[in-house]
């Protein structure tokens, strides 16, 4: 049976992997949308550039929001959040 420390490390690793995949998916999805816009309306390269930048901004916003939420969650053993333990 794995130790609790090993399980929490595995969960953290999976959470970080998921955040990285979400960031990459946002950039890739918006870039594909921009590529389609460029091909459909002959606006090259502006559709791709604008959509890629929007994907980066949205992806990083979600990444930072999720990271801050994870920092403020109590750990698995029921102790208070990190901000409260400093008082």
Q: Hey, how many other C-beta atoms are within 10 angstroms of the C-beta on 30?
A: 21
Q: Hey, how many other C-beta atoms are within 10 angstroms of the C-beta on 19?
A: 17
pLDDT confidence of residue 2: 64
Q: Which domain holds residue 21?
A: 16-73
pLDDT confidence of residue 16: 85
Answer yes or no: is 69 within a domain. Answer: yes
In the chain, how many domains are there? 1
pLDDT band at 78 (very low <50, low <70, confident <90, very high): low
Render pLDDT for 23-65 as a digit per residue (tens, 0 to 9): 999 999 999 999 999 999 999 999 999 999 999 999 999 999 9
* Cβ-contact 49, 34 below 8 angstroms: yes
Answer yes or no: is 23 within a domain. Answer: yes
Answer yes or no: is 59 within a domain. Answer: yes
Structure tokens at 81: 């959040």
């Amino acid at each position: 049976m794995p130790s609790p420390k090993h399980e929490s490390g595995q969960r953290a690793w999976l959470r970080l992997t998921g955040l990285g995949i979400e960031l990459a998916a946002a950039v890739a999805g918006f870039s594909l949308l921009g590529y389609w816009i460029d091909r459909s309306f002959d606006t090259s390269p502006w559709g791709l550039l604008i959509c890629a930048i929007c994907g980066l901004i949205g992806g990083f916003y979600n990444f930072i929001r999720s990271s801050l939420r994870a920092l403020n969650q109590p750990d698995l053993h029921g102790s208070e959040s990190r901000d409260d333990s400093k008082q």
